[in-house]
Structure 1
Amino acid sequence: MTTTKSVIAVSNSTNSNSPGITITLESTGIFLGILVSFSILGGLGIKIVSSINRISTSIIQIEEDLKEYASNAEKIRELDKRFDLHVQEYINRKDVIQMLLGQMNEKIDHKFKRVLFYTRDIQRFLQRDTNFQIREYEENTEQE
């Protein structure tokens, strides 16, 4: 019977100083395990770097939004000041108009009283010197 023997690597024990690398199944398995470990560590490293980049981008976006918000808040503050000035100007104009209307009302009342006194003087004169009859005037307050 013939027996066959498989030999992957054979080392010559008589010549131990020969240059070269002896590859065995065990060393190949260790080498492949190291490559797989490095590839997994590289993938984790890439995942961590991409997460940090995403966080950095989010922080930059938040900073830009805060700057825009601060700008809008300043604009709102300016508009609020302008609005307060317009409200105060409206109140002042309203007060002036009310004062002017009050003065005009007093002038009209004064003129009306003077006209009333003049007409009464004329009525008395006419009643004394002539047979003039004064009719009473009734104001019709019903709306048409």
Structure 2
Amino acid sequence: MNNNIKIIAATPQSPSIAISLESTGIFLGILVSVSLLAGVGIKLVSNFNKIASDIRDLKDDLKNHCSTEGHEKVIQQVKLLQTEFNAHDKMLGVHLMNFENRKEAVQFLFGQMDQKIDHKCERWDNELKELKIDVKEVQGFLRKHESFVIRNRQD
């Protein structure tokens, strides 16, 4: 048996960072980009805060303006006008209902009058027919007694 053992000596290499000009340029580019993004983010947040502050100030100014300029009186007058308008609207509704009721009553009366007139017309027509029959009988009687001549009228 051949017991040859060979020993290989290896020295562990410690990790090392090799800095070259290219890697330095990349690192500096990343730092500049991150700082620019952070600056833009800070600028956006400050602008949003400024806008929120301006809106809050405008609300306060509007409240102060309303209380000092007498808008409360105008609002009270508008509310009073609104209640009066609602009252008039209700009164108009009542008047419209009365009008509709009267309209129906008048239409009912007209219907009754039409029925009465139609009934009277039918009655007169029947009486006129009876009178025509009576007149024809009288004419027939008078023709038999030839002493009387009946003239025909034509209107």
- TM-score by length of structure 1 reads 0.58
Q: Tell me how far 1:128 sits from its aligned partner.
A: 2.2
Query: Which structure features the higher share of helix residues?
Result: 2
**Counterpart code for 1:73:** D
Unaligned runs of 5+ in 1: 1-44, 140-144
Identity of aligned residues (%): 15
Paired residues, what number? 93
Could you tell me how far apart the structure 2 residues matched to 1:55 and 1:133 are? 102
Corresponding residue of 1:51: 66
In the TM superposition, residue 138 of structure 1 has moved relative to its aligned partner by 1.4
Indicate whether 1:104 and 2:120 are aligned. yes
Distance 2:116 2:74 in 1: 62
Task: Give me the TM-score of the superposition, normalised by structure 2.
Answer: 0.54
Distance 1:80 1:125 in 2: 66
> How far did residue 113 of structure 1 move?
0.9
Confirm or deny that 1:132 pairs with 2:148: yes
Q: Which amino acid aligns with 1:75?
A: M
Q: 2:29 — aligned with what?
A: none
- Shift of residue 96 of structure 1? 0.9
Matches within 5 A, 1:1-144: 48=64, 51-52=66-67, 54-139=70-155
Q: How far apart are the structure 2 equivalents of 1:52 and 1:87? A: 52
CA distance in 1, matches of 2:142, 2:120: 32
Aligned-residue CA RMSD (Å): 2.0
RCO higher in structure (CA 8 A, sep ≥6): 1
